[in-house]
Structure 1
């Protein structure tokens, strides 16, 4: 059968008076089935017109079409119709998304159906491809893309798709919307043109949830009205808007963070001086985005349309490789970003001598994820452009799964590989946290200075007694304040500073000799938060450190009206945090990494907040927690000077 197909291909190619079919075109046509005639009609069209450049462009698309596909079916159609209805309404906040997702799941009829995977080669029509090629050529030779060679034009402007979206006629829709913004004679470079259009996209709503309700790439017409979406959705939006106007823009990927959970997708513009500048569609302009993640990224890859000879998929032969690296359209571009200070390193690997390639993995709470690959040289492997300040674990891939080898290591900024091999020497450690706090919360700490905790006997606090004033930035741990010789007060409150908007999680007032917090009617004076709808003053007195008081104004306050006055002898509070501290009554288990496995140091139930002591902890090891009470695990850490350092 294969021989018959090859004979047919040669006959068809000869009919178009073209050179012998390429291996890429052969692969595409082998997937096309009854759609082969449509694909050859594209070639015949430009052969007949005598346009050799467009004929070469058509060849590029067809030679790289194999394997490209999109999800379709009733479940996808239903989901897109729902998202369209949501996007056509007003702004959406992250807090609204759970109810939106719940609404979809309740009304969806086909949610449990599997999407149908449709191959481009089997479904795209000649008319669709011809229009795409003609429209792409129509926007070439603009001031911002005259630096592109033909091969660069094919990669940066020509492709009919940007991701796994359902194919649509998107170029005219987006060009008519965005190209009029580029009429100024002062716009000469790709970076300038990119900035102009991205400034328009920045006017869009931007709300990025942790996940979508259905993992389907949104089609172009939906993105025109986007109200919320994953980072990849906004990157796709920028691609459609800019490529439709002939701006050479691409998509780049961080396969997984090196010091946090999740992956990232963003944009890059290929400027007129042949330099590359990262940006975030609808969020940040060129050179303003990636630098804030410079200590988080292990590797950066560009998603291309054409197959990349340098990709692992094009070099691995018959050797099985991890799923991420099976994509032949990946280009390692980590070296394009000098601020990352990437290093070339050589590390040992052991076992499976038949494996030609090895991998560097970063930590995920349930597994190690490969983010870099290298070709083995005996029992070692050299990895190029690896980002520092991240813990890695070498691995091989055999029998369809990753197999960790050697010890994990921390790559420092000097390029030194600091192996984390547990020693026989041990120490006793008092540990207090389960993970680091988010940078966005650290920025709030200065706003507490000037805030007060007070008591009074008048409801307007005109006779206020101040128990505690925030004279310095607080910590994210529980803080206890002793109050002596205080008079009985009926009203108690937390008053934020002239820069603060609440952000207090819990406040507990205790009377002399009592271990039970005082109770009363919740009172307050504040403008309710526009961002956090359920963050009124009640949140400070519910005993739950995950909820918090948040307001739309400063000098806001929330408190208690007691049934009768009481003298406060002690106050305990905790500010808004990630609730990453050890919690009294919760059960924890500490592990350290010994080569390829986690070894338990035992379970303990915390007897107090923010403190848990472990004895016999090995030096120079990599650690992680499991919180058995909440059934979760977050990140890894090392211990330096008996303190946790998180990665």
Structure 2
């Protein structure tokens, strides 16, 4: 119902507003107000001699088309669900596991209740009263001039990031910003000596008890609900923070990635704007909240998040930004993906990472196709993240994030039609088409996705490799070969050997009593050493694991053991001048018993099965897999472990997986 409503609103607004020149938008907005026009005119009349305040009123009214609020009568009908949730909070306040189980039941009832209630939305422009708008404008100006950080910011930034009363579609419009102002204005953003980030942390600390819960499926329509219920998702907390900071005159925005480039789903976070800089931060309380600009640069490998990749980043706006595709009267809205129907956003990718324009040549362009769309894999399908206008047989996709696999596609009436081979936009900005090569190979797998930090035990395994020391042992003397610094990413990693002398024996000094790897390789200038022997007596923790798995050139076959003495000795067979040491981290299998897994490869615009196998809690071997192909391991039957489908695409070469 909500998506259908937004679609109808989009059709109406675009047909009546987009085609207007900017000097007519105010009149068009007043016309759209219908019976509420008088209320908006009262606002303009009130500020007619007030300079910037009049301009601010115009900004709000001109951009009010597209803003909607939920009908409060819906909340009255929904009270039984809220009471059930409130009971869960009180009953299981000290037992999170039981709370999660109970929350699942309430969320189910919530979805069931919503299916029986007609949710009514109203357009702000038809409902807001003059006194509400005037109060918001006056408070925004007062807070703006009292804030030591933003009092000299441009009027444009004020209108975009401080003034707007609406921070998300559907929210109730009440006096919450006045409430936040009265609570906090005397204590925050008065003294530059404290520093912007420290002040922001101090304010957010007051609301640290509002925590993230991805299973939360209870409608939230105002900040008071969040303060009462204490759990919410990122979207909710972002508009809560945005209202909180703007009420104190801080320029604040909400940024989002519509879907990750190497993980399924989307994410939303907050940004403070100050003196031309933007400070992105985690919306929920976190001891290390200000690192988004570092971990979202499409290069970094973070110790917690791993190597996240973003195709594009958008900023939610109150102002209307109409892209050319929306201004084109020759294309139906049903042929525009949902992301690009949203005209209250703007691209801010370049604030986070270096971008590349992707130019491709299209074969056999459909007769009526005017646009092509660039997609990323967002399990269980491809999702558009950029559009380009087709000129003859070529299309350009502007400002794309690197180290990501994309698929060009046409879009017609809600369906994607592949327009070419998948493309890997590499870290250096070059592009490689991913096409099936000649011949076949064996592929060994132990999981369906590339990100593993959600599995708690994998923290233990990867951390067991950090600060591991390799010593060359010769005539009772030892020399340090290298020391590992392991990134939190499940991928093959290599370290250069600093020692220039030849060694036959190597001692591995372990940081913990755990010895766990997928592969362990020693290199010379002539390549990888074919064989070596572990001379320390150790016994595998899993009976199916073998030491030989470390040498089989396959990271998916693993070996783990408990080593109380915290060292392992290696005999290389003869003396070698080692140049590098490589390791694939150990990872628990996600190929659980009770599920069937099908390996597929991409060719000619679709997925084709190789074969299917039953999960075994270890690894699976697939034969006769086309070389160089884009691959996907899909779970055909979801078990309790797989409540969310997060299968990722990947390529396979020399026994190692490159996840995307």
TM over 0.5: yes
Whether the aligned pair in 1 keeps the contact of 2:600 and 2:632 (CA below 8 Å) is yes
User: 2:151 maps to which residue?
Assistant: 146
Cα distance between partner residues in 1 of 2:142 and 2:295: 37
**Deviation digits for residues 356-376 of structure 1, max 9, x if unmatched?**
332211112222111122233
User: 1:399 maps to which residue?
Assistant: 413
Whether the aligned pair in 2 keeps the contact of 1:205 and 1:226 (CA below 8 Å) is no
Other structure's SS at 1:443 match: helix
Distance of aligned partners of 1:102 and 1:431 in 2 relative to their CA distance in 1, 3 Å threshold = closer
Length, aligned pairs only = 514
Cα distance between partner residues in 2 of 1:424 and 1:316: 46
Cα distance between partner residues in 2 of 1:428 and 1:435: 19
User: Superposition RMSD on alpha carbons, in Å?
Assistant: 3.8
User: 1:516 maps to which residue?
Assistant: none
Cα distance between partner residues in 2 of 1:169 and 1:210: 28
- The structure 1 residue matched to 2:443, chosen from 429, 450, 466, is 429
Cα distance between partner residues in 2 of 1:93 and 1:148: 44
User: 1:601 maps to which residue?
Assistant: 610
Cα distance between partner residues in 1 of 2:33 and 2:383: 34
Are 1:122 and 2:136 matched, yes or no? no
User: 1:529 maps to which residue?
Assistant: none
Aligned-pair CA distance for 1:620: 1.6
- Equivalent runs, 1:498-513 vs 2, <5 Å: none
User: 1:237 maps to which residue?
Assistant: 240
Aligned-pair CA distance for 1:27: 4.1
Cα distance between partner residues in 2 of 1:209 and 1:404: 36
Aligned-pair CA distance for 1:162: 0.6
User: Which consecutive unaligned segments of at least 5 residues does structure 1 have?
Assistant: 1-19, 450-468, 478-484, 486-493, 495-505, 511-554, 556-576
Whether the aligned pair in 1 keeps the contact of 2:148 and 2:189 (CA below 8 Å) is no
Cα distance between partner residues in 1 of 2:421 and 2:438: 15
Aligned-pair CA distance for 1:615: 2.3
Cα distance between partner residues in 2 of 1:471 and 1:83: 44
Aligned-pair CA distance for 1:579: 5.7
Distance of aligned partners of 1:424 and 1:63 in 2 relative to their CA distance in 1, 3 Å threshold = same
Are 1:331 and 2:366 matched, yes or no? no
- The structure 1 residue matched to 2:396, chosen from 382, 389, 401, is 382
Are 1:644 and 2:640 matched, yes or no? no
- Equivalent runs, 1:77-92 vs 2, <5 Å: 77=76, 78=79
**Deviation digits for residues 377-398 of structure 1, max 9, x if unmatched?**
3222222221112111111222
Cα distance between partner residues in 1 of 2:656 and 2:637: 23
- The structure 1 residue matched to 2:622, chosen from 607, 614, 617, is 614
Whether the aligned pair in 2 keeps the contact of 1:391 and 1:411 (CA below 8 Å) is yes
User: Which consecutive unaligned segments of at least 5 residues does structure 2 have?
Assistant: 1-20, 299-307, 466-510, 520-536, 545-563, 565-585, 640-644
Aligned-pair CA distance for 1:205: 2.3
User: 2:160 maps to which residue?
Assistant: 155
TM-score w.r.t. length of structure 2: 0.69
Cα distance between partner residues in 2 of 1:21 and 1:360: 31
Distance of aligned partners of 1:428 and 1:195 in 2 relative to their CA distance in 1, 3 Å threshold = same
Other structure's SS at 1:196 match: helix
Whether the aligned pair in 1 keeps the contact of 2:85 and 2:103 (CA below 8 Å) is no
User: 1:210 maps to which residue?
Assistant: 214
Other structure's SS at 1:232 match: helix
- The structure 2 residue matched to 1:100, chosen from 100, 103, 120, is 103
Aligned-pair CA distance for 1:251: 0.6
Whether the aligned pair in 2 keeps the contact of 1:139 and 1:245 (CA below 8 Å) is yes
- Equivalent runs, 1:466-545 vs 2, <5 Å: 471-475=513-517
Are 1:167 and 2:173 matched, yes or no? yes
User: 2:37 maps to which residue?
Assistant: 36
Whether the aligned pair in 2 keeps the contact of 1:279 and 1:286 (CA below 8 Å) is yes
Cα distance between partner residues in 2 of 1:630 and 1:183: 50
- The structure 1 residue matched to 2:634, chosen from 621, 626, 634, is 626
